[in-house]
């Protein structure tokens, strides 16, 4: 399992926030992503681990690509970015397979992607009939 780098992520988060033009305050960012000021401060100091939804909100609020945010937080390994050859884009699925995806054969990856597509198609059809 990939170890979360608390301090490194917190430092990056702070830099991303402060490098915006104009720089964003912790309070403004916390309000924008719907967390408390204290929670954001704890993320920036490495005392709190943000979840996927919080990381997605941070990504959007700071203009940082989601894969970059997830990788910085330790949810994605760098080599997984190129290893999947673009077959698996969903960040939550990538998180689920972060340790195993690179060990799957190309056929296993394609099979899994086909199964995911099948489920998405079924869900879309079901939603259309509601």
Kindly report the number of other CB atoms within 10 A of residue 96's CB atom.
Answer: 12
DSSP 22-79: SPPPHHHHHHHHT--HHHHHHHHTTSS---HHHHHHHHHHHT--HHHHHHHTTSS-HH
67 vs 75: CA distance, rounded Å: 9
Q: Show the tokens assigned to 50.
A: 């943000």
pTM above 0.75, yes or no: no
| Residue 2, SS3 per DSSP | coil
Model confidence over 18-37: pLDDT tens digits? 999 999 999 999 999 999 99
Q: Is the peptide bond between 54 and the residue preceding it cis, with omega within 30 degrees of 0? A: no
Model confidence over 79-100: pLDDT tens digits? 444 444 444 556 666 666 666 7
Q: What is the DSSP letter of 90?
A: -
């Amino acid at each position: 399992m990939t170890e979360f780098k608390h301090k490194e992520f917190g430092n990056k988060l702070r830099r991303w926030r402060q490098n915006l033009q104009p720089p964003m305050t912790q309070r403004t960012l916390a309000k924008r992503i719907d967390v408390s000021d204290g929670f954001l401060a704890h993320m920036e100091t490495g005392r709190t681990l943000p979840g996927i939804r919080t990381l997605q909100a941070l990504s959007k609020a700071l203009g940082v690509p989601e894969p970059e945010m997830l990788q910085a937080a330790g949810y994605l390994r760098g080599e997984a970015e190129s290893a999947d050859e673009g077959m698996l884009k969903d960040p939550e699925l990538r998180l689920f397979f972060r340790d195993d995806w690179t060990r799957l054969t190309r056929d296993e990856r394609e099979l899994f992607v086909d199964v995911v597509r099948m489920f998405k198609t079924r869900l879309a059809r079901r939603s259309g009939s509601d």
